[in-house]
Amino acid sequence: MRKLLFVLTLSTLLIACAKPYKYLGRAYVPTPVVKLYFREADVVEPYEVMGKLDVALPSNMNMNKIQSKVMAIARSKGADALIIDNFDQTTGGFVTTGAGATSSGDNGNVSGSKRRTDIKKDIVVKASLLKYKKNIQQ
């Protein structure tokens, strides 16, 4: 029983710590400030695209928190700026929650359960991480 409890606890921790994003590209020393752009034409500083970021977060999350999360990931990768390439809501998978009850009364046992299945929805942000050419060590 203790082993089962340990395995369940460890599994829960690993799932909770899983990164909700995918990143493909180079990483540099983390940066303190990242500029946010929505069009390539708005970036005036010469740069190179250092990587692509794909972040999936729950659709009920506040938009400011989503933006903060994307910016924090970009800072941790060493980006000087990022361009939001795409912002969309996806639907996929199901989440089932349930509760059960059992009671013993004068007329015998009564049991029941209630289950609810919801469609899982995420906000997906796709971004290009930029490194200014003046900040690239050669």
pLDDT digits (tens, 9 = 90+) for 21-63: 999 999 999 999 999 999 999 999 999 999 999 999 888 888 8
What are the residue boundaries of the structural domains of the chain, listed by start? Answer: 19-96+116-135
According to CATH, what is the number of the domain 19-96+116-135? 3.30.110.70
More confident residue, 28 or 106: 28
- Determine the length of the chain: 138
For residue 104, pLDDT over 60 is answered with no
Could you tell me which of 84, 136, 90, 94 has the C-alpha nearest to residue 117?
94
d(CA 51, CA 74): 10
* pTM recorded for the entire structure: 0.67
